[in-house]
Structure 1
Amino acid sequence: MALVRWNPWQEMNSLQRQMNSLFDDMLVPTTVVERNFTRVPAAELQETADALHLKLELPGIEAKDLDVQVTQNAISIKGERKSETKTEEKGVTRSEFHYGKFQRVIPLPTRIQNTNVTAEYKDGILNLTLPKAEEEKNKVVKVNLDQAAA
């Protein structure tokens, strides 16, 4: 029986290779399962004193293929990137584009006036301006101490 020197870093290297392989597979789709994986649009939310500004990245999607619904507490975005059929007589076509339906619900950190939302869609970027709801003024109630003591 031969003695083998144990290298504790070998297990770490093996784990790192497995993690790299996992992330490589996620970034570059190679199987049918990964091609059907639904991606949600990237979002950026900025809050100012009087409004929330939401920016969504939706490249390759036409405005008619989007459904944006706004409540006082959240925004729901549904859409579909339709596939384009391409044929080639010579060679093979490989596509890493993701097609299909997607849906994303974004909860808002504060209540908004959902009837006054404005939207602009240009070059695959959807900009929503969501004005904040007017907070009710604090009501002051006077407590009559004479009646409370009785």
Structure 2
Amino acid sequence: MDMEKLKQWMDIAKNMHGGDFWNNIFDQEFAKQFMNEQPIHSSTGDGQIGRAEKPKSFPLIDILEGEEEVVVVIELPGVTKENMELGLSGNILTIKGKVNPVNPQLTIRHSERFNGDFQRQIPLPDTVSPNQLSAKFWNGLLFVSYQRKVEKGEIIPIE
């Protein structure tokens, strides 16, 4: 597209959406993030595609909350129990570890899966102590749970 056609297209968009269309669109937070995002893959120049970068939120989590229990489900594909560490400070649960390549002897031709070191801090809805947590690893999912202390107040008789 030559510059003249681009200018015409911009003028048409300006007329259709009002004079501040371009100023407003680039002020939007999503536009700023989009403009600053790096591609997940980088070309190595010989037709090969490099390793995937760490996603912004790895590992993925779910926090399930009930009146008496909280469960954090942490998705850890390709991580073994020996290659992860769980910590707690106040109400911040920290998971860190390493995802090893599936077959390090082979050259990566294309990769969308994350490999390497990771760390993620997860704010819990309550402040708990480490001995209140239970952690179970099953099928690439780490389940971290604790029982909430439900205070049952005493009934005060009314005279």
- The TM-score bracket by the shorter chain reads 0.5 to 0.7
TM-score, scaled to structure 1: 0.64
SS of corresponding position for 1:35? coil
Query: Structure 2: how far apart are the matches of 1:112 and 1:25?
Result: 38
1:29 aligns with 2:45: no
| Identity value in percent | 20
Please give the root-mean-square deviation of Cα atoms over the aligned residues, in Å. Answer: 3.7
Distance between the aligned counterparts of 2:109 and 2:35, measured in 1?
25
- DSSP 3-state at the match of 2:109: coil
Structure-2 change in CA distance of 1:113 and 1:93 (3 Å)? same
After the TM superposition, which parts of structure 1 deviate over 6 Å for at least 4 consecutive aligned residues?
21-25
Which of 86, 95, 107 pairs up with 2:105? 86
- Separation in 2, partners of 1:104, 1:53: 16
Who is 1:111 aligned against?
A: 127
Give how far 1:97 is off. 2.3
Match of 1:7 among 12, 15, 27: 12
Other-structure match for 1:101: 117
Give the match for residue 65 of structure 2: 47
* Bigger-Rg structure (1/2): 1
Structure 2 gaps of 5+ residues are 1-6, 15-20, 26-30, 45-49, 155-159
Taking structure 2 as the reference length, the TM-score comes to 0.60
